[in-house]
Amino acid sequence: MPRFAANLSMLFAELPFLDRFERAARAGFEAVEFQFPYAWPTAEIRSRLDGNGLRLVLHNLPAGDWDAGDRGIACLPGREQEFREGVARAIDVALALGAPQLNCLAGIAPLGASDAVLRETLVGNLGFAAAEFESAGLRLLIEPINTFDIPGFYLNRSAQALEIIDEVASGNLYLQYDIYHAQRMEGELAATLAKHLPGIAHVQIADNPGRNEPGSGEINYPFLFDCLDRMGYGGWVGCEYRPATTTEAGLGWLAAARRH
C-alpha cells in the first residue's frame, strides 16, 4: 500500500494552520505536506511536527504574491532575481523542517507572452534551482496543473513537464504527478505512471469532479493504488483534496486502502 501524507493546506482547513498537525496525527497520518510554510515561524512548525511524531515530505518554493494572483514565478521573465532569493529561502526552511523535496510552481503565462521566452526563463530558473538544491541535498520537483482550476497556468501537461525536465538535464529535477490535475488535462493515468515512474518523485490525489476525497468521483483509486504497489513506487502520496464535509468523515477511502 502506498504511504499517504495529509496535505495541511486543504485537510482540516476549518482549523488554524498550526493546529492541523495534531489533527493529522490523530487521524492516523504519519506524514504531512503543505503549500507554503513561510508565514509561520519555522521553529514553531518544527515543534508541531516533532510534537506529533510527523515528518514533512514536501512543501513549495515561494510563489510570488499569492494574494495578488501569482501562482508561481519560475516562468516569468524579469523576476529571476526574486526567484533566486526564493530558492535560498526555501532551502533554509526545508533544511530546518526536514523536508527532502520541494515543488516549484511555474506560474501563469502573461497574456501575449512568447512561449519561447517563457520556456527559456523556466528552464534557466529550474537549472539554477536544481543545482542549488542538489548542493543542499534536496530534490526539486515541477507539477503540471490543470487550466480549468488555474487558467493560463504555463505548465499543464505531463509531456510538457517531461520535455522541460529533459531540457534542464540536471539529474535533480523530477515530476510531481498530481492525479487530479492529470485526469482533467489528459487522462491515461495508469499508463503515464507506469511509463514515467523513475522520474516521478511525488504523487498527489483528489477525485474528479469536485476535487474531493477518493471515492467521490470518477477516478478508480483502488485500481491506481494497486498499480502503484505493483510498479514499486516508493514515494509518498499527498492527499491534496477538499473534504466534502470534514476530513475525518471522508477518510473511509484510507481505511479501505489500508485493509487491502
Provide the sign of the torsion angle of the four alpha carbons 9, 175, 157, 131, taken in this order. positive
The active-site residue out of 22, 33, 80, 143 is 143
Residues in the chain: 260
- 143 part of the active site: yes
Q: By the 8 A CB rule, do 239 and 247 touch?
A: no
Secondary structure of residue 82 in the 3-state scheme = helix
Q: Among 44, 134, 163, 240, which one carries the catalytic annotation?
A: 240
Extract the C-alpha cell encoding 82. Answer: 526574486
Looking at residue 146, the DSSP 8-state letter turns out to be -
Count CB neighbours of 135 within 10 A. Answer: 10
- Residue 105 CA to residue 170 CA, distance in Å, equals 18
Residue for grid cell 515561524: 41
DSSP string, 168-188: H--SSEEEEEEHHHHHHHT--
Q: Are 86 and 61 in contact (CB under 8 A)?
A: yes
Cα–Cα distance between 197 and 41 in angstroms, integer?
A: 35
Query: Which positions are catalytic?
Result: 143, 240
